[in-house]
Structure 1
Amino acid sequence: GPVQTAPPPTTLPRGVGARQPAPQRPAPGAPRQLTAEERAARTRALEEQMREQRRREAEAQSISVRSAAEEARRKTEEEARKKAEEEAAAKAEAEAKARAETEAKARSEAEARQKSDDVEVTRRAKEAAERADARGRATGAPPATARPAAPGATAAERTLRLPRGEEEDEGRPTRRPGGAPGAPKRPVLAAAKKGLPDRSGRAGRVNVAAALTDEDERQRSISSIRRQRERERRQADAERLRAGDLKVVREVVIPEIITVQDLANRMAVRGADVIKQLMKLGVMATITQSLDADTAELVVTELGHRAKRVSESDVELGLEGSADEDAALVSRPPVVTVMGHVDHGKTSLLDALRATDVAAGEAGGITQHIGAYQVTLPSGSKITFIDTPGHEAFTAMRARGASVTDIVVLVVAADDGVMPQTIEAIRHAKAAHAPMIVAINKIDKPGVKPERVRTELLSHEVVVEAMGGETQDIEVSALKRMNLDRLEEAILLQAEVLDLKANPDRAAEGTVIESRLDRGRGPVATVLVQKGTLRQGDIVVAGSEWGRVRAMLDDKGRTVKDAGPSMPVEILGLSAVPGAGEPFVAVEDEGRAREISEFRQRKAREKAAAGQTAARGTLDQMLARIQAGEQKEVAVLVKADVQGSAEAIAATVLKLGNDEVKVRVLHSAVGQITESDIQLAKASDAVIVAFNVRATSQARDLATRDGVDIRYYSIIYDVANDIENLVKGKLAPKEREKFLGYAEIRKVFNITKTGKVAGCMVTEGVVKRGAGVRLLREGVVIHTGELSQLKRFKDDVREVARGFECGLSFAGFNDLAEGDMVECFETETVPA
């Protein structure tokens, strides 16, 4: 057919369509172009993957570092063990060689003595035989023949065969057969003298004693000579041994004061020798008397030993370990202290982080003592929190918290702003050189202005990031749990900047955060491990107390076997309650721990005695001031449930004194009020302040009889107010508490509509309906309220007397347990 040609291209006008080319559709199968959102998402995914890869590489590097350190430590221990084994083997070989040489020397000496004895015996026997032959030739008798000794016979067993007639001297009187002198000689002897054979078979026998006996003298036996030589050898050995003991020179450690007995023990000499030497120096001392270091050094030098003077404080040398090498350091969790003003939400924020409820158990809604907790985040990272009370009386406790912390979280309420204790917390954080993170709390409240908080912080030299500074600030709400993840990220970021590391493979060191006396478990201390690893069974020195760690519990009450750096634990087993804030360290043995503890206790007693002497002055001056009425004072005895509360109350009441009236704290301790406390208060006319503890029944009876005032508190504000009124002389209480009785919970029943009901036995006094009650658990108040029901069997009653059973239920409180005590009281009005 005809060939069809393509139509010529249409020519467009110049400039038309050149700027707007027709959109080209992608060919089938060609890759699709990514949008900007997809490229950003892919970039974020790649960055996340790279961060995860870097994190894994860091973890692998830390694991390899730990493995290398462990391998190096294992090789060092193996080399030390091999070296010790080689040294022990060399020592045993040397001892065996020395023993063998001693035995060979002894054998050679014995053989030499035996040989000399044999030569002597042979010589004497030969001389005796020659004398016998000479006498025989003179008398015409045949010569004596010596019979050879049997092979192997000793010198004492060798005998000579001589004529029988030579056994007696010619000048001796003859004996008759009956033994009387003058009798004719026996036929045997006569025959021997005539040279005739002796038919009796005994002719010519002479023993060694007879052979060695001379005509004019008798010789010593060989056994006697040997015994004498043996005695002489033993005496010489004893003298050498004594001389060797005297030559041992010991290095005697001499402290500043030492007793005569202890000095003698260190030199390994008798106490009488030391006393004799002292008498030569002109010092008359008994065995129990103490000597100063100069005198003891003279005695040691005179007795030939070396003296080494040490100071008492030398017991603490080397207590803290040496600096760690960089290769042994590994990352540790950060220690974060939460600070802020009263009621700004510190404990509530910590509860939100821990998903627990601590503040609900605190009387008055404030934290009464310090606590430490460890939080594990979903990412696996850990953060240790230290919660400090916000009340101004706990200033010293907050200062201790700042001294052990890495990061400070400053909690500021958005509605209140910067308050006095907030400023104080800023000062503590700056003094500790700890970086701060500002948590602006309560942002869920309507009308709050976080910018106001940031502006107020500027006047205290705290510049947040939003204002161009370096301090991180996070807006949070502990109640609504808002932005808690941002706060945790900020803490971890700050910890990464600080590069926190510690060596876990060393003796544990740390700080006592809190301590108390538990009636069932004894002294309990909350400690924060800062270096090394604390293990169950370690011997620790905490302040002036020491003990072996019997058990360790974490912040959730679980038993743990070891605690690494930045981990808070409760330890049991100390000898007494240590002071909060005191350092603790693990030592190698009990002797060292006891020595350090005794030294520190002695120093504390000396310091206390010096302070009391300086405060009292002389007795005459004190009596003159009292008689003149110049000095009035209010004496206070403080007993609390934990050491931190006792310390805070003591600091509070001491501030309340003035120029006219002085406040004196007689005693501050933890635990129940005992009879000795009542006696001390009575002798000093003091008021007993009981903070969350009660008095024993014997102490309460004694206080009632002696008129001692016991005041029970659970909030520190009330303590300050009452003591201040006492000081001002304005205290005229219109209401006074009257004790009614005690009831012990024997059984707890769960009633569907009523709740928990306690089956009780009234152990003392009476229990009345409508009266106030306190629930005591191990002597500590856990609830104060009113009775909602009081029943005897199924009937409601007004009161139940001692010795009867009853049923009790509390209004709005169900945490009842068997063994708890119910204290019943009523408040009476006293006219002013």
Structure 2
Amino acid sequence: MSKIRVYELAKELNVSSKDLINLLMDEFSIEVKNHMSVIEDEDAELIKELLGGSSDSSSEDGEKKTIVDEYEDELAEELNKGVRKKKKTKKQLEQEEIERNAEAASGVIEIGETITVKELSEKLGKPSNDVIRTLIFTGVMAALNQEIDFNTAEKVCEKYEVLVARKEENNELEEFEEEVEASEENLEKRPPIVTVMGHVDHGKTSLLDAIRHAKVTVGEAGGITQHIGAYTVTLNGEKITFLDTPGHEAFTAMRARGAQVTDIVILVVAADDGIMPQTKEAINHCKAAGVPMIVAINKIDRPGANIDRVKQELTEHGLVAEDWGGDTICVPVSAKTGENLESLLEMVILTSEMQELQADPNRKGKGTVIEAKLDKGRGAVASLLIQNGTLNVGDSILVGSTYGRIRAMFDDKGKKIKSAGPSIPVEVLGLSEVPAAGDRFVVVKDEKTARNMAESRKEKIRTESHQSSNRVSLEDLYSQIQEGKVKELSIVVKADVQGSVEAIKQSLEKLSTDDIKVRVIHGAVGAITETDVTLGAASNAIVIGFNVRPDNNAVAQAEKDSVEIKTYRIIYDAIEDVKSAMIGMLDPEYKEVVNGKAEVRMTYKISNVGTIAGCYVIDGKIVRSSEIRVIRDGIVIFESKLASLKRFKDDAKEVARGYECGLSVEKFNDLKEGDIIESYSMEAIKRKEL
């Protein structure tokens, strides 16, 4: 038989159905509703064996008796006697079991980030009721199966005079790293991974398309079929993988997440245009990442092309062309005519050979997510770049805080494949959720392991979100230097004019000492933008603004990434703050608090009064008694106080977000539509003890 009813088993064992139901539910954790419920044959045989009700021969009974421990014998004895007080008996037996395990719980016990109350009581060798009582006295209400954190568990253990050690959780990624180091003899050459950057309209997309048409889509019907954010081309038997990213913002955003996927950067500069603001940004982002650059001087087919001028401008940013005695490879190309495309690819292969890029294709795959989306018909679709090992269909993978089993895999041309090696981009199906671009993935032994690790990571992310980030700031810079956390202070400088950028940059870099080096990784003219904050997050840098302000997106991003933005009106103050922070003497007495912002929608000129601005409060509130600054195109043009603030005809102390108001600024009448009026106050803060 495969199943048996409770009353039938009770009859065979010569006990009451009620006692048998209590035994099944309390001691064997088998859910039983009534005497008509069915239980599995395997469970029934086990119960018969333990209670001596088995139909086996008497000679076998004696043998089985030897493998039944005292705890099970007592259960059988209590049941056969018909004892009704099951709760008391269970409690006594539980206490005996705890006492038997008490010796194992002596000494030092290991606890992870969290532990259930039941597990803690077992490790301590104490009754769960006592542990719960101790938790209540420490101010924590927790049930038997509820989890408590390490610090709470440590307090409980102190009450019982038991030492606690934090259990190191297995990090699958670290295990894989060790595996890579241990298999150096299996290393083989891998294709380089290339990212194309440059200023808008300098021909990045045209260059990529030209390479694809020349090397990928020759003879293909229907044109370009690449949709996965990366593709591979072949030149003289050598493969090159191109990342089709939107530019340096995406490059740095991925780097901010810890994904250093690019081996080589191709910097595209138009021969008829030269170095532009975004080109300069791309150069600084590459330098911060420490990735080798190849400059592709594009549009050489145009009449106004001047290759030497581009090379001259590159020298201003520390890039000297090889034919000028430097070490920067410069290749004049034309995406339109296809001129020198092969030379460009040859330089990429040459640079990759100098780097000696290697990977082990025999190990389990690992890499990074390039793109991810939710497809209506296929579910979560992720584009992965394999950086080491081989990825196969059927592999269970852990991707960031999500997981899955690869159901299907496609290459960059949309063809179905079964496996892919290092530096090969693929599109996979089978993930439980859509991962984030820049998330790292590893292959694990099975889907259950992947799911458990993904859940653990989600919990860790939730925990970490409540804790402060360890970003560098001027206030705690000295303590971080003393602890050895900071050896280099990276700074992003934004100012209203180029002269100020250069002056601040040179002055700050002169502050470098033996203990810490000050390095300005990016300096530019204009308002502090989201891109500046992203670069600051990726490089653990401080953003300093001189006569400029951050836009709303930059402020939100800075709060999210815990990047410090400091704004100044006097260069000397900026230099003194950094200098004071480095020697541990920084002692700010006032902190600027922004109350709100209003946008000028219309202006009125009134004789004997001046210019009145009709404004709409777009953020926070405008306070009548506060200081204000006038911002035009992200640059502070005037600072003063409000001469008047009115709602309709009535004077107002403050006007909240979403309301209109009229205002005038003391000693300033050049208000224009589109100007931003920022209301702020200086808040006194206590002196810090160092």
Normalising to structure 2: TM-score of the pair? 0.48
- Whose relative contact order is higher, 1 or 2, with alpha carbons under 8 Å and at least 6 apart? 2
Higher helix share: 1
Structure with bigger strand share is: 2
- Over alpha carbons, which structure has the higher Rg? 1
TM-score between both structures, scaled by the size of structure 1 = 0.41
